[in-house]
A and B are shown apart, each in its own frame.
Chain A
Amino acid sequence: MRYCKECSVKIKGNPTNCPLCKHHTSELPLHLGSLESSVFFNGQKFLPKNRESDKDPFPIVQLRYKQYTLLKVLLFVSFIIYSILLLIHFLFRDSGLRASYIFAGLGSLWLLVLTIVRKRRNVGKSILYLLSLISGLLVLWDKLTIWHGWSLTYAIPALVGIALLAILIAVGYIQQELGDYILYIGAVAIIGLVPLLFIIFGWVYVLWPSIVSISLSILMLVYLLAFRHRLIAHEIVKRMHM
């Protein structure tokens, strides 16, 4: 226990300076008594409080900063790469490296990184977001280079298959409550039906990847509706409650 003459207060612990006014603290004056004696007020006796009051009331907590170090390094590295690639683009005109490629490349990288980081706590949500994002980016890349339609024909149906399998394995492995994931699984399965549109509008010429994707999705939807419809209804009511 210390004492501050300026503020005339007793201070718990052994600080060298008064936390209020920053002046040097001193020993407890005699009239206020040591810890063992009592405090008197208006003739009434107050029992000695805080047997532990010679100790600090709070633990010393180290300073903690959120540094985002990795993010800063990545940002720096991507800036350097972007500059180098731009330089190549301007110096070697016939390299075939277009400014739009460079920009789209780094943009894709950052979108992916941020999605993965932000959605890392729910694997179902993470897979749903990544599926949608990667599909969108692949169509963009297909468009940006010469349009072959490979994104619609092969990439998206394959991604849907991978996503369905991944979500099945991941959720089954972590064995957490299915309610947290079931709507995301349903959403992935519904995205898996999108290749049906590709076939209807005649955007794809090789049909089997789309058909596989659609069949897998239908299988999953049938499973969900047959065995988990109560859970799905419960989750929808809960989350969509207005």
Chain B
Amino acid sequence: MNLDELQSKTSRKRTGLRSFMRYWLKPGHSVQDKSRRNWMDLDNASTIFPSVLNTTDTKVFRFTATIIDNIDPILLQKALEQTYNHFPLYHSVIRRGFFWYYFEDSDLIPVVQKETTAPCMPLYHYDQRNLLFRVLYYQNRIHLEVFHALSDGTGAFWFLQLLVTNYIFLRYPESSARTRNLGELFSLPHYEPNEQIDDSFARYFSKNKRETPGVFPKRKNEPADYKPETKKTKNKNNKENKKIWKRIFQIRGRRTQDNRMQIFETEMPVKSVLKLAKERGVTLSVFLTALFIESIHRTIKSKRKNRSVTISVPINLRQFYPSNTARNFFATTLIGYQFGEAGQTDSFENICQVVADQYAEAVNLENIEKKLRSLIRLEKNVAIRPIFRPLKDLILKIANFFNNQGITAALSNMGKITFPEAVEDYVEQIFVYTAATRPQFAAITHKDYLTINFSSPYQNTDIQKNFVRRLTELKVPITVGANQVNPPEEDNEIL
């Protein structure tokens, strides 16, 4: 069966008077049996995504895996179906209720497609029952695009990991023969259906569970006498001493012609970058953040030089709170640097130091918990819950707009990822990037290589250029790839 046949099979219809009568009159009709579908609430972080998405910032992110040979779509489809069975979460569609969006189970079958469109095209559309992810292929690349309300980077990577493993076992049968413990490979805790759909925000941070002793799950290395803050113990005077950034720089520019993302993928030996970070006594994340801040600052015109540059960084909460959820489980923090402050030199070394201190402060779990608990309190607030959903959308859009005013750019470091040993030889490179309202990058390390992928809605490439040139000046060998944002004129058509 080829892919077109599969596509038409999934949209098959039954007609005729008999089936018409059966549809309305037979109570146990198969279609209607499935009609009472399982559904569940969106988690705390997901709530915002369907409300604030737009045609530029589609809230879709993409993983790319390059394989040693060109992709065989038939085998990829087979691998996708095998993987899909392991991930009940990915069967979900998002629907609109009167008060909230919710996930609903579906029996759609995902179909792999050849990549013909710009990256990170919208996945969620109201009134349409679409899966919240898609798998594309192009030459030797497999792309997994995911709507952020469904999953975060870690959750989506698990899906990719299994998809690529399945594909390689099908495409290169000798690889599965080399794997000794095949069963173990597929019985990892994060492939367990019940673990995947766990709402870890609610599990760790909701008030009710917090205040019932013994029920609440412990975080890693939690002190024995740790007492979560409750309404009664809350100290009103103890204001969080959060740094207030002044005159935050906002990146502006001319958008790409049809609002597509401008993507740069860069790859470099991770050791050479790690060495540079170690020379400055900081971690890779700190180094990249400082470099990003400096690259942005170098694009600022002289009269605005003394602004602060702030970077929004997600923190994977799974590292502190044991969880195998494939749904969102992250918090964001703001890392920044105030330029032109008296008594400091804005050297790169100094930026590194300031950023390193903030990273250390950011993983202070008391602050993270406080923030997440207040977000969950807000979601469960009796005054918020009965607000009509379209009004909630509007409120969230406005809140998101004001929140964005405090952010110059964003980045995400996925860290080092691996594939099962037998598969590793066939996987060349992993890339990750996301649709963005402002220049943003995502970094991921695989084998010896670090890939840093920039996405931006703007035509201007100065920030990316500064970033890359700074690294090449420091003798890091870099290979760049980019998508075309201004394709040749004669190919264009008006829709």
Residues of A within 8 A of B (CB): 1, 4, 6-13, 15, 19-22, 32, 39, 41-42, 44, 46, 49-53, 55-67, 119, 121-122, 125, 168, 171-179, 227, 230-231, 234, 238-242
Contacts and interface: CB of A to CB of B under 8 A. Distances in A.
Interface of B: 13-15, 19-20, 23-24, 27, 31-32, 34-37, 39, 41, 55, 66, 68, 70, 97-100, 102, 104, 115-119, 127-128, 138-141, 257-258, 260, 263-267, 269, 271-272, 275, 385-386, 428-429, 448-449, 461, 464-465, 468-469, 472, 477-484, 487-488, 491-495
A241 B41 contact: yes
- Across the A-B interface, the 8 shortest Cβ-Cβ residue pairs: A19-B482, A12-B481, A58-B483, A57-B481, A179-B35, A121-B127, A20-B465, A8-B472
Given A12-B479, A62-B493, A65-B495, A41 B484 contact: no
7 contacts: A8-B469, A9-B468, A20-B464, A58-B138, A179-B32, A230-B36, A239-B97
Contact of A59 (B138, B272, B479): B138
Contact of A19 (B128, B461, B491): B461
Contacts of B39: 238
A231 B35 contact: yes
Contact of B478 (A1, A9, A56, A238): A9
A4 to B, nearest CB: 8
Given A59-B115, A179-B35, A227-B27, A21 B484 contact: no
Contacts of B104: 238
Nearest to B473: A8
A51 B494 contact: no
Main secondary structure of the interface of A (DSSP, over half): loop
Given A179-B36, A242-B385, 6 more contacts: A11-B482, A12-B480, A20-B461, A58-B481, A61-B487, A173-B15
Contact of A50 (B36, B66, B128, B468): B66
B100 to A, nearest CB: 6
A132 B24 CA distance: 25
A83 to B, nearest CB: 28
Contacts of B448: 46
Contacts of B127: 119, 121-122, 125
Contacts of B115: 58-59
